[in-house]
Structure 1
Amino acid sequence: MLNWVFLERSVYKGLEHRPHRLEQLILLLLAQVEAVHIGTIFFYIKTLHNFFFTGLLTDQSYTSIF
């Protein structure tokens, strides 16, 4: 009986700490999503740079994008 109470308490303590781990996981996922957005923004800046500094829609700039 004593072991069962101890096990129940340890499981409860584990569940208490779980939201903290879940919050860390959510923050990590949000950081990954933000990194993807920052990478997308840099890709668009590079694309605009290719358009305006290598000639507007020349074959060379068009093929360097795709």
Structure 2
Amino acid sequence: MLKRKRQIQSDEILLAFRFLNRYRHSDKTISELFDWIIMKRWNVLFDEEQQWLNEYRTAH
């Protein structure tokens, strides 16, 4: 889903972010995934997704 810029905004990625966030303490690859998305796929995220990741990053 994050391979290219999407035309239609949906909440699927936010739901996935929230789901993964629940398990980030038990699996270190989840934090690495979030870091990778921030570094490599930031430009394909919608504003709400970027905002969620900013809040995640400042909270951790």
Per the normalisation by structure 1, the TM-score is 0.32
Higher helix share: 1
Bigger Rg over Cα = 1
Structure number with greater CO (CA < 8 Å, separation at least 6) is: 2
TM-score, scaled relative to structure 2:
0.35
